A and B are shown apart, each in its own frame.
Chain A
Amino acid sequence: MTNTALSVELQAVSPAEAESSLLTPDVSMVILTWVTFLLLSAVLYKFAWKPILKTLDEREESIRRSVEGAERIKQELAQMHSTRHQMLKEVEQKSREIMDESRKAAAQLAGAIQHKAKEDAKILLENARRDISEETEKAKMVLRAESARIAVELAGKLIHKNLDSEGNRRFIREFVEET
């Protein structure tokens, strides 16, 4: 803007306007401001502030709910973790008990088996002993019968030969040595 242009511009302003103070009251301006502001308030209230503030409230509510939900989930997770820990401990305890019981049962079973085996062995031994004694008796019987048969045979021979006492004794000794 040049000085010439400015002076032209200034001349274009009416003298009354140029003289008027910056503080001159202007009712029409006040009314125009009121009307503009009231209309603007009404329009913005209906189409801007009401939906904007509603959206903000809804979002805040949703964020609060989400945070509360997250907190609740966190607590539930912590609770689940502790429950799981507790359950694991219980399971461990139970498995230990089961193992102890089964170990005890196995020991008892082993004892029983051992006892039974011992009993069986004892019975077998007794049977064997009985068999041996029976066989011994049987052998004795056989020996006795054989001795009798030999005695009978010897007696028969003695009778048939009719020998003297010296001769009998020699014969018997020879027979005994022979047998």
Chain B
Amino acid sequence: MSHAFNLEKYILHHMQDSHQWYLPFLPPLSLPPFLSLHGVMLLIAAALLVVTFCFLYNKRQRVPGRFTGSLEAVVIFIRDDIAIKNLGTEDGRRLTPFLCTMFFFILTLNLMGLIPVFSTATANPNVTAALAFFTLCFMMFGTLFKGGVKGFLNALIPSGVPKGILFILVPVEIFGLFIKTGALMIRLFANMLAGHMVIFAMLGLVLLLGVAALPSVLLAVCVGVLEVFIAFLQAYIFTLLTAVFIGQMYHPQH
């Protein structure tokens, strides 16, 4: 029985993007070629966020309720401890909406990946690369828009460096921009992928070895709980590093 089961394929099957959505008690739902399963997850996450913040979040309450209050605490945390702390008051306030969207979008995608019906879009490098691209855009075009070419060069070239070294330093710094955002992309994608791989590997053991491997389900549950924490942590790290990188470009301190 077990020779027919391929654990690697089982894990890959659950982690990979596909055009079929497996819903409980229903035949697999075939998705159109232009929309993959992770794409559907992106749209559902976006819809969830719109519903949550545009309809469920009560903006007229003078004293916020439990739900609104908890979301508000996160928004205030992003504004004060991520945006303003790393970008200064003016730029921080201006970029708070972008960072809030980034945080809640990544968090929703991460948490959706823990619900069996859904899939983890943030375990797809294309998604994380697209998100990290926005960080790169702010780092490059935001700095150009804010300080012009002079400001951009000032952010790249440290003051007091001999001109001879600039030939090496400038390409390294420009390369560094891509490295930073690349690391951002890989960090989120790898963390989400690894966590889910561990869970599916443990659940796969039951399919591979049968009842004898049932205790691994308990381990999978423990890793699942850890994954909830990691979902929050990775969303926070991505948002924080985005603010830090943009802050380094907007306010270079050489």
A contact residues vs B (CB 8 Å cutoff): 1, 3, 6-7, 9-10, 12-13, 17-18, 20, 22-23, 25-34, 36-37, 39-41, 43-45, 47-53, 55-56, 59
**A36 cross-chain contacts in B, Cβ below 8 A:** 42-43, 46
Most B Cβ at <10 Å: residue of A1, A7, A44 = A44
Q: Which of B49, B123, B133 contacts A34 (CB 8 A)?
A: B133
Secondary structure at the B interface, as helix, strand, loop or mixed, is helix
| CA gap between A37 and B104 in the complex, in Å | 11
Are A53 and B75 in contact, with the CB atoms below 8 A? yes
Q: How far is the CB of B115 from chain A (nearest CB, A)?
A: 16
Q: Which of B12, B57, B101, B193 contacts A41 (CB 8 A)?
A: B101
Known: A10-B9, A22-B16, A28-B34. A52 touches B59 (CB 8 A): yes
Are A26 and B42 in contact, with the CB atoms below 8 A? no
**A12 cross-chain contacts in B, Cβ below 8 A:** 20, 28
Known: A6-B207, A33-B130, A37-B134. A45 touches B97 (CB 8 A): yes
Are A7 and B4 in contact, with the CB atoms below 8 A? yes
Closest to B124 in A: A29
Q: How far is the CB of B220 from chain A (nearest CB, A)?
A: 13
Q: How far is the CB of B133 from chain A (nearest CB, A)?
A: 7
Give the top 10 A-B pairs by smallest Cβ distance, nearest first. A33-B130, A48-B53, A49-B97, A29-B126, A40-B46, A47-B54, A30-B130, A36-B42, A26-B126, A41-B101
**B134 cross-chain contacts in A, Cβ below 8 A:** 37
B145 at the interface (CB under 8 A from A): no
Known: A26-B126, A40-B50. A49 touches B101 (CB 8 A): yes
| CA gap between A59 and B62 in the complex, in Å | 8
Given A33-B42, A33-B127, A45-B97; 17 other pairs, CB 8 A cutoff: A3-B5, A9-B22, A10-B10, A17-B18, A26-B36, A26-B124, A29-B36, A29-B124, A30-B126, A36-B46, A37-B46, A37-B130, A37-B131, A37-B134, A40-B50, A43-B54, A44-B50
Are B59 and A29 in contact, with the CB atoms below 8 A? no
Give the number of chain B interface residues (Cβ < 8 Å). Answer: 55
B contact residues vs A (CB 8 Å cutoff): 1-2, 4-6, 9-10, 12-13, 15-20, 22, 28, 34-36, 38-39, 42-43, 46, 49-50, 53-54, 57, 59, 62, 72, 75-76, 79, 93, 96-98, 100-101, 105, 123-127, 129-131, 133-134, 193, 207
Known: A36-B42, A40-B105. A29 touches B97 (CB 8 A): no
**B13 cross-chain contacts in A, Cβ below 8 A:** 9-10, 13, 18
**A34 cross-chain contacts in B, Cβ below 8 A:** 130, 133
Q: Which of B20, B28, B35, B98 contacts A32 (CB 8 A)?
A: B35
Are B129 and A30 in contact, with the CB atoms below 8 A? yes
